Structure 1
């Protein structure tokens, strides 16, 4: 049998890249390790050669050269909800594209001791940096003032400092939802809120109240839910029994689904009798009956920003302030002018 051409079968190595690019082995190494002393021309030639050859840098060697492990720690609380789950997936994928693996911890207790233990555990595991998803007030408060030996970036709903914190402007999203219903002609807007102890609950109530106040309208007591469709259904039954309610803004789409079901069971037409607006724009929202008007939050963008900001801190790059991720109102069939 003819012998296999081992030269063709082997994986390309650094010297192959250097030969094709017409540069030294050291120049290829500098490009791989993001050395700023490489000229743009050399960097472009090396990157083109790597792409042409299909060369994959040795991540272990890169980590040793940089004294990095190429691992990012993630501490998450409240990950059973839609938004944090999407953020986690985005963090893992963005980290992978940047050459990092992720290590996830979900502390049982989101108090100060629990969060410090989680941070210490990740530092002991030699991560290069940490992302903290803190949608609950206890976790966010617990992390304030804690020290760590590695860079740390936090997600807190509606809160940001332009550098080490990333957020969505959730209070603006609540204002958009409320404003949409007022502009349709509704006298006021009732609110089904999330549970206490969540920063998102507070932000969405704050935006709703602020928008009503700017119109000089009454903010009635909220119907409190727990993010679930069942709690939305319970709130919807109470809303259906109140003939004065013509518009309701619900703090997430799952609860809005329960509200729609309860209104339908009570014979109340949506949007003819009562307009309903949700929050989050889950993938199913467009297929509710009727299709749900809602506020779209780009949770995937938050995940990407968290990793990008953390990598900038790890690599000691200059930081540029970033605004909060903007929400977007998505108008569908569940909202309409009130009947007169």
Structure 2
């Protein structure tokens, strides 16, 4: 006789799954909580029954049964930057693949270290077993170390002062790719519009920009302030447009580059014929700008997955990490060209 489906007037439960899979309810519980002491074939039968019945685990009940919440916390700076959302997608994907849920705590831009500590405490109270620190600055204080000692954590590191930090995306390499591309096209110098100086990646890209120019015997021109927003890029573009011999600009984000290019167009300077522009990120709109942006791609989703997998490895005591290529890549499009003769 085939297993009975639950009646239409109630949701399926663990007993229904166990009956369909031909196992005990304890086995269903072990599979659904991610425990490893279940034979693979048995686990596949249980998961097939779960899928067919549409069974959903009640998170609070699962937590009580297993003694684990299977919640990952993420601390992020409240911003509308594309990178934050893309990193979050990667974290969510990795968490879901290993049967974790994600809860997020946001702090204000330019927040104090105390604000990050309060966010950490808030996630702990919500039951987070581990926490991803998606923050712009180094948080190294006795108070933060006390928390990271008791609750596993990892950084989503786009920049670090520690060259051996895990999952590190080389911000110096990003700037080198951009600046060397422009100089190799024949431009005599490269102007720079950085992001908000609060972010460590801003500082490291500016250091590399200066270093590359100095290595080529070029005195770096003055930095033109930016803050990641298109508006700041627009203001920087108006300044660049007023400098007749400015033919190449390294802009620290695609979003600022959009504003900069608009300002150049309004001033009658064409891109790339008059001014070549290289930016950073390679967001979805970069290839559809006018002209399409030459930019240094950052693998945001891969970085999010890598951070989550590293944290899950700590929690599970096993190696669940995947190979993640975090090298930046120069994507050459139509916004760069050799300078006019």
Please tell me whether residue 230 in structure 1 is matched to residue 220 in structure 2: no
1:200 paired residue number: 201
1:54-93 alignment to 2 at 5 Å? 54-92=54-92
1:31-110 alignment to 2 at 5 Å? 31-92=31-92, 95=95, 98-106=99-107, 110=111
Report the secondary structure of 1:224's partner residue.
Answer: coil
CA contact under 8 A between 1:157 and 1:203: conserved in structure 2? no
The answer for unaligned runs of 5 or more in structure 2 is none
Q: Counterparts of 2:6 and 2:120 in 1: how far apart (Å)?
A: 47
Work out the number of aligned pairs and report it. 334
Q: Counterparts of 1:293 and 1:218 in 2: how far apart (Å)?
A: 24
The answer for unaligned runs of 5 or more in structure 1 is none
1:105-254 alignment to 2 at 5 Å? 105-106=106-107, 110-135=111-136, 137=137, 140-141=139-140, 145-148=145-148, 149-159=150-160, 166-213=167-214, 215-254=216-255
Please tell me whether residue 300 in structure 1 is matched to residue 301 in structure 2: yes
Compared CA separation, residues 14 and 106, structure 1 to 2 (3 A): same
Q: Counterparts of 1:93 and 1:120 in 2: how far apart (Å)?
A: 24
Q: Counterparts of 1:125 and 1:33 in 2: how far apart (Å)?
A: 18
1:170 is displaced (CA, Å) by 2.9
Report the secondary structure of 1:223's partner residue.
Answer: coil
CA contact under 8 A between 1:109 and 1:115: conserved in structure 2? no
Write out per-residue CA displacement over residues 227-249 of structure 1, whole angstroms, 9 at most, x where no aligned residue: 22332233223322333322111
CA contact under 8 A between 1:278 and 1:295: conserved in structure 2? yes
Computed over aligned residues only, the root mean square deviation of the Cα atoms, in angstroms, reads 3.2
Compared CA separation, residues 257 and 33, structure 1 to 2 (3 A): closer
Q: Counterparts of 1:126 and 1:167 in 2: how far apart (Å)?
A: 28
Report the secondary structure of 1:76's partner residue.
Answer: strand
1:18 paired residue number: 18
Write out per-residue CA displacement over residues 148-184 of structure 1, whole angstroms, 9 at most, x where no aligned residue: 4321122232239799854433332222212222232
1:337 is displaced (CA, Å) by 1.4
Q: What's the TM-score once normalised by structure 2's chain length?
A: 0.83
Runs of 4+ in 1 over 6 A off after TM superposition: 160-164, 321-324
CA contact under 8 A between 2:306 and 2:324: conserved in structure 1? no
Compared CA separation, residues 217 and 152, structure 1 to 2 (3 A): same
Compared CA separation, residues 335 and 16, structure 1 to 2 (3 A): same
Report the secondary structure of 1:294's partner residue.
Answer: strand
Q: Counterparts of 1:312 and 1:34 in 2: how far apart (Å)?
A: 13
